[in-house]
Amino acid sequence: MIDHKDPISMKQERAFIMIKPDGVARGLVGEIIQRFERTGGLKLTALKMFYPDYEQSCKHYDNSDAWKIKLGTRTKDAQKAQGREDPRDPIEIGNDIQEKLRNYLCQGPVVAMIWQGNQANQLCRKITGHTCPRDAAPGTVRGDLSVDDYDLSDASNRPMYNLLHCSDSPENAELEIKRWFKEDEIHAWQKLDEARLYEIWKSN
């Protein structure tokens, strides 16, 4: 649990990022890493490229009904805005998208990373941008580098290509990190600007 009154504790928050197969295939690995690295407030503590297998892929995407309903409801809302209506209920739509995502992730390779720093998850979500690239703000990875949307991915019967996965909370990040990284793949090191950012020299 992070103590938001203690900078030493605050700097421990970790976010999990995975550049998905579309991001790797488009040759955007360096560009995407740079977006996170240049903030200064995030420290890279793990990085690897690999092909996920189907079993790992299944564990990655939340299997709860709540997540599927959220996914399905958002999709129905987006369709409605375009004057379309999918007769299926949100959970069926969520199931369908989830299965497509699981298969898609194994078409790898992917690049997984851990970024650490104060509010790492909020910061990484901000840099990543909205789930749907067409709605993502300019300046975000998805907004600048992808053009996909709900309609096109539905019509093409595939998951939305939005380049990367980003954890959505410190708790989920820790679960995802455990799933994708072994302890000895994660590295502790001192970043030069940390002392100033967290005023560590005053407490040490």
Question: Residues interacting with ligand ADP, by CB under 6 A?
Answer: 71, 75, 97, 101, 131, 150, 153-154, 159-160, 162, 165, 168
Q: Is the dihedral of CA 161, 66, 121, 111 positive or negative?
A: negative
**CA neighbor of 17 nearest in space, from 182, 198, 177, 143:** 177
Rounded-to-integer distance, Cα 199 and Cα 191, Å: 13
Rounded-to-integer distance, Cα 130 and Cα 134, Å: 8
Residues that are catalytic:
165
**CA neighbor of 116 nearest in space, from 52, 190, 180:** 190
What angle is formed at CA 158 by the lines to CA 152 and CA 159, rounded to 5 degrees? 90
**CA neighbor of 32 nearest in space, from 41, 23, 40:** 23
Rounded-to-integer distance, Cα 47 and Cα 186, Å: 8
Closest distance of CB 160 from ligand ADP, Å: 4
Determine contact, residues 194/6, Cβ cutoff 8 Å.
no
Residue 67 is inside which H or E element, if any?
helix 65-81
